[in-house]
Chain A
Amino acid sequence: MPQLDTDLAAVGAGLDALDAPSQERRPSIGKRFVRTAVPPLIAFALLLGVWQALWAMALWPEYQLPSPASVWAAVAEAIQTGRAFEVLWTSVSRAVLGFLTAVVIATPLGLLIAKVRVVRAAIGSLLTGLQSLPSVAWVPAGILWFGATPATIYFVVLMGSVPSIANGLVSGVDQIPPLLPRVGQALGASRLAAARHILLPAALPGYLAGLKQGWAFSWRSLMAAEIIATSPQLGEGLGQYLHNGSALNDISMVIAAIFLILLVGVGIELLVFRPLERAVLRARGLTGAL
């Protein structure tokens, strides 16, 4: 019998070696840099070239189309005086705080909508509808309710990002293979433990997509709120900086502000969400989109 047993072990080991999927190797860092960083840099350089050419042709007056150099000068000046950092800090800290609050509100809300039929029937469509409502629409109401205070700004940010995050979580939960919650039940998970150990991790890809969209919505809601609601009480964020540029008829400053707004959006996406998404999908063997 022991002889037979070792035979079985050997056959099993052989099968494992034959059947296990082969590992795909990640390309080297240099190759990955060339593949991911070079194309956007070339696109950016081309854009700059077209801009410079259009400016050089002098089709529009200088106060409508500034040169790349004068926009860069506006950015450089804002950086040198430290104003850029103050403005960026004010806005980014507001957006991050608003976004985190939205996560805290939207996560239980999304779970409730996904798992409780009555709640889904009652507010599911409303939440989806809210996503298509531009959050700028809340600014006048916010000013009437809270005055030109930070409360208005946070209110607008929340109205923008909560629906996205909750909806992302709902679709994430809806896409869980039905066998996994049953396995959880069979393994003896209580409702709460099942949510923590099975539901949430299984819904993570959808949830993450919702978070990504929620961040984008909270950032642009914040900009809308800052551009419209300006008062000395509110301090100077990126939106106010842009608003001031427009009030001063300084097109370079306006474009510099837009550039900074874009820079934050792209930066957070590349530094936070892209790596997170990659790690989550790669761990599950979903490498197709990467």
Chain B
Amino acid sequence: MRVKKITPATFVLWILVCIVVNFFAFAPRFSDPLAGFFGFGRGLDLLLVLGYALLVYAIFRLYIKIDELNRNTTELVRELAIRNEIKLEDIDNEEE
């Protein structure tokens, strides 16, 4: 059984992302030099592009996750089907 918990490193990373995003949200002009470094005119543009990239990545991850869930469900349904192969005796016993 695989229990996946968030690692301390990931936790710290998300906290940092939260702090940085909130900081730039309240003080957008501080993001301008950073945006200039990446070739964007405004900090907001950089933020939008980063946000878009993050969303695309999130959708991709979700797709993979849903696919994995689908596969697991199929495996489960298959196992159930094979274990419960239909036997005439069982049906007749139920009917009695």
A is bound by B: no
Q: Which residues of B line the A interface, CB within 8 A?
A: none
Residues on A lying within 8 angstroms of B by beta carbon are none
